[in-house]
């Protein structure tokens, strides 16, 4: 026997992955529903034969979950968080001890780091001939329980690593003591503050606490990178990731650090984490888990696709997708059309295209998250110790980030997050941004403040609420805010605008925190108009116009654009709030406003050739299009300044069984797209599509070839090859006589 290794590692096609194990018969049914891969337990020593028998790929699941997800993992006889609860009880027995704050195992423990290196390398050696989609280090990983806050890690391994890092940061012990307000006599004696100690500081110098939390984010990211490098050391092309990524915040979820080390992630889309991740690492492979049904779940899947997602992990614990009798279940019957559409080329087309954003930046600051959390929790005292991971959902920090995202989207614009370290490195100038938003960015480093000042001096527009830079990046309150000259009072009217160099600093005197709630209740008008005016005056305009038929902004419809060479792909989807549970009672707060059909106007930059990608239809040459938008499904269009040439397909007229034939696919003239996606269906004499000869093909520059390796036992007779260009809907068929 031999292994026919998948030809390439790059994740260029959309993958639909079933998490649960299934029999070969069940997998055969799943394949007809669009499922393209499965999961394989990272501790099982045999290969997944039920997947292999159906020519399905897999990813390796939870290879090192006992290290990365130690406080949130499955046990046969206990709840998943029992170790975390045990730590809390341990603290209550002796609050004077730091034993409850020692992570077991420590993320800095050398023996454990070597263990995960060895384990991952062995796993890759076993699986590499089959090229798994990715190796999952751990599901729902975190320093503690998911994104729950806890004062980990006071273990000796962690403190030793932290002290070495602090020496690199401060250089001298005197510099650290000056910043922290301490009097340590040696590096070996340096000890960070616990949260309870920090809350008692009367001078608001939380540096010894803030640096400790920074170190924990570093140690988590370093441990992740050890896993990534262990996989690469055995298979340089293999992807490594984690599942169940949490909201930006605690648990190691500083996305500025994770974006640098992770090639793949399945995040739970919350707190703007997906947008942050894709902004900081546009090439990262992201997936989403689907465990629901109904039209809202369908809309959520399309939402993720249009936000750069490359796959779905299907969670089906109750056999609703496929039954134990190997029949399509109710969820399978409902989801199959969506899965098959995504697998028929539209997912690959969006992956092959570059998602476009506008010249608007939103500041992402982990130091701000930390100090705002501490200040909000301090009045409650030790009540923070009873908080869970779910307590961190819907915080003011996350809500404000999402409010800015929604108001920009409601104006038909797009944005990127720019992280604290990118700001220091003048990314605002390099990235060509016109506007930078500081969402209550109370913590800034001197380097950030200097870079922001340069940005404004050179013509940029800085928009802020609150008092930016009242704390430094170590979380020490400053005598004077770092940007007081730009945003100091008095503040009158809706906004305060101050010229500085060639640019402006604008302070918002109205509340943006509640925008995601207000838009659901039709109360967004004032904030929307103010922000729209500010963007317009800053020279920010969309290439494609999206409005109501009245000409007003189409609130609740997000406009996505992708660039593929000289072609634009435009997607429109109702922009309901993904999660409303934290915004208010359901009888008051819901997505009902955006769950009705509506008519919107799409205006193109110039008269262009327009194609309906999902319908596969040419709509003519237009400057404006009236779109009847479904509340749960997108409209997707291809826009080109020139007509597309005709699709040409060539194939041998006759082919003997056991021989291989070459299919040729091209276009009759110059093509404007950089990469086409062609969907090939090969049908036997009975008209049945043969899955292992069919599929999507990338055609860079409009040219592609595909080998048709006929088996000795294939049927004789007339075979049909049908090729469809996903971008334009053009289709061509040819026949091959097999003898």
Query: Mean of the pLDDT values across residues 328-350?
Result: 98
**Full strand arrangement of the beta sheet holding 731-738:** 654-655, 731-738, 717-725, 675-683, 695-700
222: preceding bond cis by omega (within 30 degrees): no
pTM for this structure? 0.97
Has residue 504 got a pLDDT over 70?
yes
The pLDDT value recorded for residue 89 is: 95
16 forms beta bridges with 312
Q: Residue-wise over 180-203: b if at least 16 C-beta within 10 A, else e? A: bebebeeeeebbbbbbeebbebee
Instruction: Say what percent of the chain tops pLDDT 90.
Output: 96
Q: How far apart are CA 739 and CA 695, in angstroms?
A: 24
SS3 434: coil
Considering Cα of 208, then 174, then 368, then 250, what sign does the dihedral take?
Answer: negative
Has residue 1 got a pLDDT over 60?
no
- Report which of 517, 597, 15, 600 is spatially closest to residue 299, judged by C-alpha positions: 597
The pLDDT value recorded for residue 576 is: 94
The pLDDT value recorded for residue 6 is: 73
Query: Mean of the pLDDT values across residues 592-603?
Result: 97
pLDDT band at 75 (very low <50, low <70, confident <90, very high): very high
The pLDDT value recorded for residue 688 is: 97
Q: How far apart are CA 221 and CA 29, in angstroms?
A: 40
DSSP class of 693? G
Structure tokens that stand for 547 in this block: 């409005």
Instruction: Say what percent of the chain tops pLDDT 70.
Output: 99
For 230, residues 6+ apart whose C-beta sits below 8 A from its C-beta are: 116, 117, 118, 120, 121, 124
Query: Mean of the pLDDT values across residues 578-589?
Result: 86
Overall CATH class of domain 647-738:
mainly beta
Q: Where are the domains of the chain?
A: 15-68+103-148+210-354, 360-537, 545-640, 647-738
SS3 389: helix
For residue 363, the surrounding DSSP H or E stretch is strand 360-364
Considering Cα of 712, then 713, then 715, then 719, what sign does the dihedral take?
Answer: negative
Whether CATH 2.40.50.100 fits 15-68+103-148+210-354 = no
Q: How far apart are CA 153 and CA 736, in angstroms?
A: 66
The residue with tokens 């634009």 is 568
Instruction: Find out whether 590 and 580 touch, Cβ atoms under 8 Å.
Output: yes
Whether CATH 3.40.50.880 fits 360-537 = yes
Examine domains 545-640 and 647-738 and report if their fold is the same: yes
- Report which of 300, 323, 136, 304 is spatially closest to residue 227, judged by C-alpha positions: 136
Structure tokens that stand for 194 in this block: 């616990």
The pLDDT value recorded for residue 233 is: 97
Query: Mean of the pLDDT values across residues 57-84?
Result: 96
The pLDDT value recorded for residue 2 is: 55
Indicate the CATH number of 545-640 among 3.90.1170.40, 3.30.70.380, 2.60.40.1180, 2.40.50.100.
2.60.40.1180
pLDDT band at 10 (very low <50, low <70, confident <90, very high): confident
pLDDT band at 112 (very low <50, low <70, confident <90, very high): very high
- pLDDT per residue as tens digits for the range 226-243: 999 999 999 999 999 999
pLDDT band at 527 (very low <50, low <70, confident <90, very high): very high
The pLDDT value recorded for residue 9 is: 65
- pLDDT per residue as tens digits for the range 691-721: 999 999 999 999 999 999 999 999 999 999 9
pLDDT band at 588 (very low <50, low <70, confident <90, very high): confident
- pLDDT per residue as tens digits for the range 452-471: 999 999 999 999 999 999 99
Has residue 174 got a pLDDT over 90?
yes
The pLDDT value recorded for residue 3 is: 64
pLDDT band at 86 (very low <50, low <70, confident <90, very high): very high
Has residue 142 got a pLDDT over 80?
yes
């Amino acid at each position: 026997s031999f292994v026919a290794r998948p030809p390439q590692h790059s994740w260029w096609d959309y993958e639909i992955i079933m998490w649960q194990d299934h029999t070969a018969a069940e997998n055969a049914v799943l394949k007809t529903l669009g499922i393209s891969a499965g999961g394989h337990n990272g501790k099982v020593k045999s290969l997944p034969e039920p997947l292999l028998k159906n020519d399905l790929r897999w990813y390796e699941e939870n290879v090192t979950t006992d290290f990365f997800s130690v406080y949130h993992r499955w046990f046969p006889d206990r709840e998943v968080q029992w170790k975390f609860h045990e730590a809390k009880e341990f603290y209550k027995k002796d609050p004077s001890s730091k034993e409850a704050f020692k992570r077991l195992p420590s993320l800095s423990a050398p023996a454990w780091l070597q263990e995960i290196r060895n384990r991952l390398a062995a796993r890759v050696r076993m699986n590499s001939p089959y090229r798994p989609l990715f190796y999952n280090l751990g599901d729902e990983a975190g320093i503690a329980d998911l994104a729950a806050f806890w004062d980990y890690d006071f273990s000796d391994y962690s403190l030793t690593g932290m002290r070495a890092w602090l020496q690199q940061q401060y250089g001298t012990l005197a510099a650290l003591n000056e910043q922290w307000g301490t009097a340590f006599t040696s590096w070996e004696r340096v000890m960070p503050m616990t949260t309870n100690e920090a809350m008692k500081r009367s001078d608001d110098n939380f540096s010894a606490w803030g640096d400790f939390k920074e170190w924990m984010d570093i140690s988590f990211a370093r441990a992740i990178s050890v896993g990534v490098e262990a996989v690469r050391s055995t298979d340089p092309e293999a992807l490594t990731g984690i599942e169940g990524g949490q909201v930006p915040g605690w648990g190691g979820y500083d996305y500025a650090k994770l974006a640098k080390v992770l090639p793949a992630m399945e995040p739970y889309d919350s707190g703007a984490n997906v947008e942050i991740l894709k902004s900081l690492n546009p090439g990262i492979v992201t997936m989403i888990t689907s465990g629901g049904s109904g039209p809202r779940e369908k809309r959520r899947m399309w939402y993720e696709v249009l936000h750069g997602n490359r796959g779905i992990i299907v969670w089906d614990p109750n056999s609703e997708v496929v039954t134990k009798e190997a029949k399509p279940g109710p969820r399978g019957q409902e989801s199959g059309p969506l899965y098959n559409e995504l697998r028929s080329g539209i997912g690959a087309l969006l992956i092959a295209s570059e998602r476009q954003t506008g010249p608007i930046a939103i500041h992402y600051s982990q130091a701000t998250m930390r100090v705002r959390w501490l200040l909000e929790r301090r009045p409650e005292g030790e009540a923070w110790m009873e908080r869970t991971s779910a307590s961190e959902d819907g915080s003011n920090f996350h809500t404000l980030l999402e409010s800015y995202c929604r108001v920009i989207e409601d104006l038909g614009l797009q944005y990127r997050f720019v992280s604290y370290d990118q700001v220091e490195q003048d990314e605002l100038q390099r990235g060509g941004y016109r506007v930078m938003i500081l969402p209550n960015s109370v913590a800034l480093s001197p380097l950030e403040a200097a870079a922001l000042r340069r940005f404004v001096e050179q013509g940029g527009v800085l928009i802020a609420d609150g008092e930016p830079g009242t704390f430094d990046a170590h979380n020490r309150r400053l005598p004077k805010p770092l940007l007081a000259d730009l945003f100091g009072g008095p503040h009158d009217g809706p906004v305060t605008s101050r010229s500085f160099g060639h640019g402006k600093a604008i302070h918002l005197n109205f509340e943006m925190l509640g925008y995601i709630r207000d838009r659901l209740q039709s109360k967004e008008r004032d904030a929307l108009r103010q922000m729209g005016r500010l963007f317009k005056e800053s020279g920010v305009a969309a290439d494609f116009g999206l409005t109501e038929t009245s000409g007003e902004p189409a609130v609740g419809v997000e406009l996505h654009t992708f660039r593929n060479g000289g072609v634009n792909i435009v997607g429109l989807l109702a922009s309901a709030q993904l999660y409303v549970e934290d915004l208010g009672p359901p009888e008051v707060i819901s997505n009902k406003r955006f769950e009705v059909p509506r008519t919107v106007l799409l205006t193109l930059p110039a008269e262009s050739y327009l194609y309906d990608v999902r319908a596969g239809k040419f709509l003519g040459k237009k400057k404006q299009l009236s779109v009847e938008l479904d509340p749960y499904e997108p409209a997707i269009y291809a826009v080109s300044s020139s007509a597309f040439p005709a699709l040409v397909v060539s194939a041998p007229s006759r082919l003997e069984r056991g021989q291989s034939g070459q299919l040729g696919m091209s276009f009759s003239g110059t093509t404007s797209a950089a990469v086409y996606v062609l969907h090939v269906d090969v049908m036997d004499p009975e008209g049945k599509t043969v899955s292992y000869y069919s599929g999507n093909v990338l055609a860079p520059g409009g040219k592609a070839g595909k080998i048709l390796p006929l088996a000795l036992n294939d049927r004789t007779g007339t075979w049909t090859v049908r090729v469809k260009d996903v971008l334009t809907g053009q289709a061509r068929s040819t026949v091959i006589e097999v003898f």
